[in-house]
Amino acid sequence: MRLSNIAAIVTGGASGLGGATASLLARSGAKVAIFDVNAEAGASHAVSLGGVFVEVDVTDESSVENALAQAQEAHGVARLLINCAGVAPAIKTVGKGAIAHSLTAFRKAVEVNLIGTFNVASKFAARLSEADVDGEERGVIVNTASVAAYDGQIGQVAYAASKGGVVGMTLPMARDLATYKIRVMTIAPGIFLTPMLLGLPQAAQDSLGAQVPHPSRLGRPEEFAQMVESIVANPMLNGEVIRLDGAIRMGPR
C-alpha cells in the first residue's frame, strides 16, 4: 500500500512515537488525523502537518466513534491506523509498607493500552470493511506493544500485562480481518527517546542506552516510524509482532 494521498489515523499522535509516525506519514503524502488526549500539543502538531486533530479518549466508545466520523469527514475513509496511545505506570505488586498495587492504576493501564487499542482498531476496521479494495488490500492496522510484554521489569506488572494483551490479540485480529483484506501488525519497541525518557538526566539516558547491545543507544522515534512505513509497504507482513529493540533483553530492574 502506498502512503501517498491515503487517510491515516495516529492515536497518541501528539508526541513521542506517535508524533514521529504522524510526521513521517504526512511527509509521505498521507492525510493524517491525530487522536490524543493532549489537546494543545495534538492540535499544534496537526497544524504543522497540515492534518486534523481530534481530542479522543480511546477507552470511550462514543468518543472513538465521534472521532472516526470527524476524521472521515475531513479525509475520507481511513485506510491506515497506528495505535500509539498508552500509559506506563511504575508500581510493584506489593509496595513498601505491604501496600497492594492499586487496582485503579492496574485497571487504567489495561483500559488505555489494551482495551483502548482494541476499541479504536475494531471500530476503524468496521468502517474500512465497507470501503473499496485498494489493490489487494483495504488497509493496515499497526498496534504498539513493548518489549515489556516479554521482559517485564520490577514495577511493570500492569504495563507488561496490558502490552502482553496487545501481543496476544495480534494474530487472532489479523485472522478475523483477513476476510476484509485488512492486515494487522504489532511493533514491540525497546527503550526509545520518548518524552518520559527525555525528562531524565543525560547520564541516566546514557546508562539506559548502554544496555542495548547494538546500536548501543536509545531508539529514536523516527526509527519506530520507519518500521511503520516498512510494514505498510510490505503486504506479506501480517499477524506478527516485531521487536524493535537493538537486541536488548530487559533485566529485572
Q: Examine the residue annotation and report whether 159 is marked as an active-site residue of this protein.
A: yes
Helix (H, G, I), strand (E, B) or coil at 186: strand
Cα-trace Rg, the chain: 18
| Cis peptide upstream of residue 89 (ω within 30 degrees of 0) | no
Tell me the C-alpha to C-alpha distance, in Å, between residue 98 and each of 95, 145, 157, 249. 6, 30, 16, 29
Instruction: Read off the C-alpha cell for 102.
Output: 492499586
* Pairwise CA distance, residues 151 & 208, whole Å: 15
Cβ neighbours of residue 230 closer than 8 Å, sequence gap 6 or more: 237
Of the residues 35, 53, 106, 159, which is catalytic?
159
Helix (H) or strand (E) holding 9: strand 7-11
The sign of the dihedral angle between the CA atoms of 21, 22, 27, 29 is positive
Q: What amino acid positions are annotated as catalytic residues?
A: 159
